[in-house]
Structure 1
Amino acid sequence: MRGTPPSGRQYRIMAAGHEAVVTQVGAGLRECTFDGRPVLDGYDEAERAPDGRGQVLAPFPNRIADGRYTFGGRTCQVAMDEPERGNAIHGMVRWLDWTEVSFTEHDVVLACVLRPQPGFAWELTLQVGYHLDRHGLTVASSATNTGTEPAPFGMGFHPYLGLGAPVDGLELLVPARTHSPVPADRDRRPEPVGVTGTDLDFRSARAVGPTVLDTVFGDLVRGADGRAVVRLTDPVSADGVQLWVDESFPYVMVYSADGVLPVERQRRSLAVEPMTCPPHAFRSGADVVTLAPGESWSGTWGLAAG
């Protein structure tokens, strides 16, 4: 008898020739295709999600130095799951089973309750919904403080955009005026630096080339609808994919996958990560959302062809 996939139940949704696969474990996005063309560098059903691929990052995105932080008079210690760099990484819910709220041909909504524990002393109820239509994929997320004390909160997502070609030859557009280098003192708020005149200025689409990206971009230029749009395009085939974020996500991190394993996966996709706050935010306090008891946060991002 066939065993259960490492990422649990697989939720396949379809609409207008588009398909996506969402996993029970971590409510992650494992696959996405538009008109039969993959736009994500995902992973096989028989694999455990490598390199954060498609994962939901909560109650904090990115990292916490030493896994230790203080909030509301409480000091918490998160497991350091990036021990070689002395960090806790990518939140605390990406390996948990999420509960099905609803599932149709076009949509799936999953939820998770994060209970008080040594790494997070508060209670949050999280919900992530994936919806496909002719315009592409929309991901709507929310968090509600179902505890009795104010709680810190941050959220992110970790899709790897891929077009079936090495990223060096692809063209990238990131509508960001600044990037935020991580300060040596992780308890200090990062100071944004302008991208003008640097190799990190992708406000006009240009080839990625040899540029190594592991970069937090901010001060995003948005349209009248409040969305900021990152684009990755193959100039040979003219295929492309867009990742858009609403105003709930003031940052996107772009990672050129130089350090992933196996080697064959390196620089064949770009992780473009919507984030509510920068790395080590639970240490520095930078843009951490404080949710009062009963208060909710919501944010939306999505993928489209083009």
Structure 2
Amino acid sequence: MKIAPSGEQFVIASGAHQATLVEVGGGIREYLHDGRHVLDGYRVDEMCSGGRGTPLIPWPNRLADGAYTFRGARYQLPLTEPDRHNAIHGLLRWTNWTRRAGDESHAVLGTVLHPQPGYPFPLDVAIEYAVADAGGPGQRPGLTVTTTATNLGEVACPFASGQHPYLAAAGQTVDEASVRLGARRWISTDERGLPVGSEPVEGSPLDFRTLRKIGETRIDHAFTELDRDADGLAWVELEDPDGRRTRLWADRNYTHIQLFTGDTLSPDRRRRGLAVEPMTSPANAFASGDALIVLEPGESLTTAWGIQPG
């Protein structure tokens, strides 16, 4: 029997919106609005590349040497970015997720992260994806992604999360697109992509507080001290070369947003979309403790982000 590399496909739709979610990794393979690709996703006959649309749990971004200490015990994770000697983007990218609930316009995908070497903490993770033409009570128009992680164990566990969508640039490169992100600081990194400090965006090539063209700027950095609206939401706006704007929002749990222009991807995908990654902590949080979340036994954390196509 022939199966898709990303496993079972779960399609949700409402009005002009249609999203395809996947069994492998529990992410978003495709999101269309009025037939236009909102995300730079991947085909049904392809493996997910570059983390496209994937949840990043129980940590986003990189962990130096895959090693960390938590409450006096030292842990070692597999090096999933061996060329840089890092562990990257958590443990659920290739896990099978199941559809736990849903209807035509929403689906809840879930999985259990069982204890394993380097992370001996059981977690239940459920992600609700919903699309809507107009927001209702507790819902915004467009795509809304709500993630709930619950500590199923008898001891506290370290936790962080994120997700890795790429906003599409109308079939062109991001060079001709413009971006706006209200953030006052960016995280500087070393050659391994690990944080070495933070810098003010003012006066730097990474000041996107007003909408401006990306051009040849290479971006693979997290931004923090995010501007927020009256509802506590941080916003990123991408205007494609055709003048259409896509807006991504993230709630207060997401203290950092990573932007990535895809310069290290394969030539056919390089700079074809802008990764906009809401994250509850920066890279290396398991080791540094920076914005690290601790879930006590039985405790849950629910976070939300979403996309509003223009």
Under a length normalisation based on structure 1, what TM-score does the superposition of the two structures give?
Answer: 0.95
Aligned partner of 2:246 in structure 1 is 241
Contact 1:63–1:279 (8 Å) recurs in 2: yes
**Retained in 2: the 8 A contact 1:214–1:255?**
yes
| Distance in structure 1 (CA, Å) of the matches to 2:255 and 2:288 | 17
The offset of 1:73, in angstroms, is 2.3
| Residue type of the alignment partner of 1:258 | D
Mapped partners of 1:288, 1:24: distance in 2: 28
Equivalent in the alignment of 2:79:
80
Pairwise mapping of residues 64-103 of structure 1 onto structure 2 (< 5 A)? 64-103=63-102
Shift of 1:264: 2.1
- The yes-or-no answer on 1:257 pairing with 2:258 is no
Q: 2:75 & 2:230 partners in 1: Cα distance?
A: 40
Letter in 2 for 1:212: R
Q: 1:137 to 1:82 in 2, by over 3 A?
A: same
Residue of structure 2 equivalent to 1:304: 308
Q: CA deviation at 1:168?
A: 0.8
Q: 1:178 aligns with which of 175, 179, 185?
A: 185
- Give the letter for the 2:150 counterpart: T
From 204, 207, 211, give the equivalent of 1:201.
207
| 1:222 and 2:221 are equivalent in the alignment | no
Native 8 Å contact 2:258 2:275 kept in 1: yes
Find out whether 1:53 has 2:60 as its counterpart.
no
CA contact (8 A) 2:62 2:193 kept: no
Which of 266, 271, 277 is the matching residue for 1:273?
277
Report the Cα distance in structure 2 between the residues aligned to 1:69 and 1:47, rounded to whole angstroms.
Answer: 34
1:183 Cα offset (Å): 6.2
Contact 2:84/2:192 (8 A) holds in 1: no
SS in structure 1 of the partner of residue 287 of structure 2: helix
Distance 2:196 2:183 in 1: 16
State the alpha-carbon separation in 1 of the partners of residues 283 and 156 from structure 2.
Answer: 21
Compared with structure 1, are the counterparts of its residues 61 and 9 closer, same or farther at alpha carbon in structure 2 (3 Å cutoff)? same
User: Secondary structure in 2 aligned to 1:265?
Assistant: coil
Aligned to 2:138: none
- Structure 1 residue matching 2:188: 3-state secondary structure: coil
One-letter amino acid matched to 2:71? G
Counting matched residue pairs gives 302
Q: 1:196 to 1:113 in 2, by over 3 A?
A: same
Counterpart CA distance in 2 for 1:119 and 1:181 is: 27
Distance 1:175 1:223 in 2: 10
Match of 1:38 in 2: 37
Runs of 4+ in 1 over 2 A off after TM superposition: 182-187, 189-192
User: Are residues 1:165 and 2:172 paired?
Assistant: yes
Structure 1 unmatched runs, 5+: none
Do the aligned residues in 2 keep the contact of 1:186 with 1:283 (CA within 8 Å)? Answer: no
* Number of the residue aligned with 1:121: 120
TM-score computed with the length of structure 2 as normaliser = 0.94
Identity %: 42
**Alignment match of 1:148 (pick from 148, 154, 175):** 154
Check the 8 A contact 1:182/1:279 in 2, yes or no: no
